[in-house]
């Protein structure tokens, strides 16, 4: 298939690398003058992958959008709405959009697929690619499992069947609300895990995982999704890569935040914590871990006190 990957940062560059090795024709788009594009153009690689010579690297957005039937977007979640205004200036009729990004729009609380639909794309042409895995492991040949989800089940099957390989086994998703909320929320749990690591309370990661998945399940259910999705690959199944891995940006952010060390990379969980707190209020769902992360980052409360208070709340039934 002809696939255009919009974005050439960590995940965007990996997706191009991965799909061209699966036999697809790949156009990789980035912005001229942006570091992530320029490093690929000038050196033929970045810190994650080597640019395959079969990939057509371009900064021409019109060419990238109009040349392929499948458009994969991998950019910062908070930049999606403004980026879609640029994309929809071109002919996008019948294009299939796949969002390989995790987050919730902080100003509105909208899921990213909703942002794309509100930008003028038919909902049956929108899919999401979520689940566990780190590029550093994938490029070494370590396999993992991921999920494709969408509003249209035929689109789910087509994408999953064509994108699967020995490196990534794709499952068919059947709950796009749960898949998106679960995938975004795991980054908040990753920050919480990093804060526990940084504060010397790593032993509390077990309770964090159990309570975190239950917290997210309640939110998914309140938003109209299947609460069991929180226990699948989009959320609980992604905890190993997000709460424990040295490669996890969100875990690293949380650890360094507690230690007062600057963190230069993108940690989507920072904005997601704010968006989830808003959703919890809107849907009347108690989100104690999310609220704890929010209070530390946005209200500058003491991390150790916040987590000690959180895990020493009054005795109650586990679920």
pLDDT at 65: 98
Backbone angles phi, psi at 55, to 5 degrees: -85, 135
- Quote the longest CA-to-CA distance of the chain: 60
Here the CATH number for the domain that contains residue 216 is: 1.10.1040.10
Q: For residue 177, is it within any domain?
A: no
Q: Are residues 159 and 20 in the same domain?
A: yes
C-alpha distance from residue 189 to each of 186, 200, 215, 288, 291 (Å):
5, 17, 10, 11, 11
pLDDT in tens, 171-192: 999 999 999 999 999 999 999 9
Measured CA angle at 176 (ends 115, 223), to 5 deg:
80
Same domain, 157 and 60: yes
- Its sign, for the CA torsion 139, 72, 157, 185, is positive
Is the pTM higher than 0.75?
yes
Same domain, 36 and 163: yes
Rounded Cα–Cα distance for residues 15 and 49 (Å): 10
> Among 264, 46, 254, 19, which Cα is nearest to 136's?
46
In this structure, the answer to whether residues 167 and 193 fall within a common structural domain is no
Domain shared by 193 and 85, yes or no: no
pLDDT of residue 311: 85
The verdict on 96 and 193 lying in the same domain is no
> pLDDT by residue (tens digit) across 15-68?
999 999 999 999 999 999 999 999 999 999 999 999 999 999 999 999 999 999
- Count of domains for the chain: 2
For residue 73, the domain's CATH number is 3.40.50.720
Active site residues: 186
Tell me which residue range forms the domain holding 265.
182-311
Note whether 265 and 146 are same-domain residues.
Answer: no
C-alpha triplet 287, 292, 295: angle, nearest 5° = 120
Same domain, 186 and 167: no
Q: What gap in Å lies between CA 80 and CA 221, rounded to an integer? A: 25
Phi, psi dihedrals of residue 17, rounded to the nearest 5°? -60, -45
As a whole-number percent, the residues of the chain with pLDDT over 70 amount to 98
Domain assignment present for residue 317? The answer is no
Q: Which of 151, 172, 193 is the last residue of a domain?
A: 172
Give just the sign of the alpha carbon dihedral 293, 7, 161, 224: positive
- H or E element at residue 140: none
Q: How confident is the model at residue 313 (pLDDT cuts 50, 70, 90)?
A: low
**Residues 246, 162 within the same domain:** no
Is 264 exposed, middle or buried, given 0-12, 13-18 or 19+ CB atoms closer than 10 A? exposed
Could you tell me the pLDDT band of residue 7, with boundaries at 50, 70 and 90? very high
Report the pLDDT value the prediction gives residue 314, as an integer from 0 to 100: 60
Residue 115 has pLDDT above 90, yes or no: yes
Q: Based on the fold, state whether residues 53 and 10 are members of the same structural domain.
A: yes
């Amino acid at each position: 298939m002809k696939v255009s990957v919009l974005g050439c940062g960590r995940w965007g560059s990996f997706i191009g690398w991965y799909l061209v090795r699966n036999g697809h024709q790949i156009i990789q788009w980035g912005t001229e003058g942006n570091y992530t594009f320029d490093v690929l153009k000038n050196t033929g690689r970045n810190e994650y992958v080597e640019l395959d010579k079969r990939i057509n690297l371009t900064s021409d957005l019109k060419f990238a959008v109009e040349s392929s039937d499948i458009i994969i977007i991998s950019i910062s979640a908070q930049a999606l709405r403004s980026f879609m205004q640029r994309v929809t200036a071109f002919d996008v009729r019948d294009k299939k959009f796949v969002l390989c990004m995790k987050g919730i729009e902080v100003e509105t609380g909208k899921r990213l697929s909703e942002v794309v639909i509100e930008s003028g794309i038919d909902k049956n042409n929108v899919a999401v690619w979520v689940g566990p895995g780190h590029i550093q492991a994938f490029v070494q040949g370590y396999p993992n499992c991921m999920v494709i989800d969408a509003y249209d089940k035929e689109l789910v099957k087509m994408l999953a069947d064509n994108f699967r390989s020995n490196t990534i086994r794709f499952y068919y998703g059947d709950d796009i609300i749960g898949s998106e909320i679960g995938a975004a929320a795991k980054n908040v749990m990753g920050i919480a895990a990093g804060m526990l690591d940084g504060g010397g309370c790593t032993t509390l990661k077990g309770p964090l995982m159990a309570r975190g998945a239950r917290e997210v399940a309640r939110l998914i259910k309140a938003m109209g999704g299947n609460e069991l999705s929180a226990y699948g690959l989009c959320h609980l199944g992604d905890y190993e890569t997000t709460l424990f891995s040295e490669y996890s940006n969100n875990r690293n952010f949380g650890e360094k935040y507690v230690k007062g060390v600057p963190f230069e990379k993108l940690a989507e969980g920072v904005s997601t914590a704010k968006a989830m707190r808003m959703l919890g209020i809107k849907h009347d769902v108690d989100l104690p871990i999310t609220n704890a992360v929010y209070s530390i980052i946005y209200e500058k409360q003491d991390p150790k006190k916040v987590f000690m208070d959180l895990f020493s709340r009054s005795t109650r039934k586990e679920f």
